[in-house]
């Protein structure tokens, strides 16, 4: 796998183009199929679970949460914050509830985080919003036994940026015990050379400031308690594999507890879509990490 700097613009575009390894589908069809899958999964989840929808954590239209509560929220419970993908410019919390059934049935609360998408939102704003959502939720629920971050693609990027937060600015220190980062983007500079950046309008400075691989902080005692899982789909593009490997190495070098998981027979989309299945390998890894924390 070559470095992105060695690629032509056309080659780089292909690295970030939505694709499904098992089907011959164009970009729009791939996205439509993914949206259908997560929308239907969320509809099923909301039909059977105790929910608090559109809970504001700030003043912007995008700053809202969908909360999926376990059967008995009077007891202490772990809480997973799910941050959706969509290249920071599509999808929403409204289609993010599909992951909840196997977690909520095990007594885990799930919070789907909304944030302002491009072009209204920009990278600095989105990162700040997701950080504020974490601070808000831990202040709302005193019985949380631990916070876990879960993000897919652009959402994995935002979850990774949460790991580098200086919480003194927010007046709270969340007990972040784990992070599940799935098919994430950890180095934003290559994206500035692709059409993905048309709406984002990232400068090189903004991209570097918001690249998790460049924001890794040393694992202080509080951070050493946090276990990070970096997962990548077998059929993700070489660029996604490169970024996952480099972010894994950066965290490990800084003293974090981190593991890297290559999930067989998955692509960039079904690697997250399958989280509604209790027997799916990634679901099982997440449940095991939470249960032993």
Q: What residue spans define the domains of the chain?
A: 4-292
Residue 275: its pLDDT value, please? 97
Burial status of residue 143 (CB atoms within 10 A of its CB: 0-12, 13-18, 19 or more) = exposed
Give the pLDDT of residue 21: 66
SS3 74: coil
Q: What pLDDT was estimated at residue 29?
A: 87
Q: What confidence tens digit (pLDDT) does each residue in 132-146 have? A: 999 999 999 988 999
In the residue annotation, 74 being an active-site residue is answered as: no
pLDDT given for residue 74 in this prediction = 73
Catalytic residue from among 34, 152, 157, 236: 236
**CATH ID of 4-292, from 3.40.50.720, 3.40.50.150, 1.25.40.10, 3.40.50.1820:** 3.40.50.1820
CA distance linking residue 204 with residue 206, whole number of Å: 6
| Matching residue, tokens 């089907």 | 23
Q: What is the mean pLDDT of the chain?
A: 93
For residue 99 the two structure tokens come to: 């992951």
Task: Single out the catalytic residue among 153, 183, 211, 237.
Answer: 153
Following CA atoms 55, 165, 243, 192 in sequence, which dihedral angle do they give, to the nearest 10 degrees? 80
Model pTM above 0.75? yes
Catalytic site residue from 34, 237, 268, 270:
268
- Is residue 157 annotated as part of the catalytic site, yes or no? no
CB count in 10 Å sphere of residue 205 = 9
Residues of 37-64 as b/e, b for ≥16 C-beta within 10 angstroms? bbbebbeebbeebebeeebebbeeebbb
Cα–Cα dist 283/274, whole Å:
8
* 166 assigned to active site: no
């Amino acid at each position: 796998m070559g470095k992105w700097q060695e690629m032509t613009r056309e080659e780089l575009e292909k690295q970030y183009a939505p694709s499904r390894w098992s089907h011959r589908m164009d970009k729009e069809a791939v996205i439509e199929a993914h949206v259908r899958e997560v929308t239907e999964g969320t509809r099923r989840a909301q039909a059977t679970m105790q929910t608090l929808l559109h809970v504001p954590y700030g003043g912007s239209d995008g700053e809202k949460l969908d909360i999926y509560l376990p059967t008995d929220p009077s007891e202490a419970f772990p809480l997973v914050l799910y941050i959706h993908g969509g290249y920071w410019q599509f999808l929403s919390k409204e289609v993010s509830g599909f992951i909840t059934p196997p977690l909520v049935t095990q007594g885990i609360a799930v919070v789907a985080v909304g944030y302002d998408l491009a072009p209204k939102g920009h990278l600095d704003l989105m990162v700040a919003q997701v950080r504020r959502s974490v601070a808000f939720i831990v202040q709302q629920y005193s019985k949380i036994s631990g916070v876990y971050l879960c993000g897919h693609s652009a959402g994995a990027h935002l979850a990774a940026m949460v790991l580098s937060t200086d919480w003194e600015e927010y007046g709270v220190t969340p007990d972040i015990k784990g992070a599940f980062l799935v098919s994430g983007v950890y180095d934003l500079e290559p994206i500035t050379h692709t059409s993905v950046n048309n709406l984002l309008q990232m400068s090189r400075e903004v991209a570097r400031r918001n690249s998790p691989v460049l924001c890794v902080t040393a694992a202080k005692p509080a951070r050493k308690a946090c276990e990070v899982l970096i997962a990548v789909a077998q059929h993700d593009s070489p660029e996604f594999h490169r970024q996952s490997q480099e972010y894994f190495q950066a965290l490990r070098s800084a003293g974090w507890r981190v593991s890297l998981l290559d999930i067989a027979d998955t692509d960039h989309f079904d690697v997250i879509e399958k989280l509604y299945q209790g027997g799916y390998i990634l679901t099982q890894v997440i449940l095991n990490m939470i249960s032993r924390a």
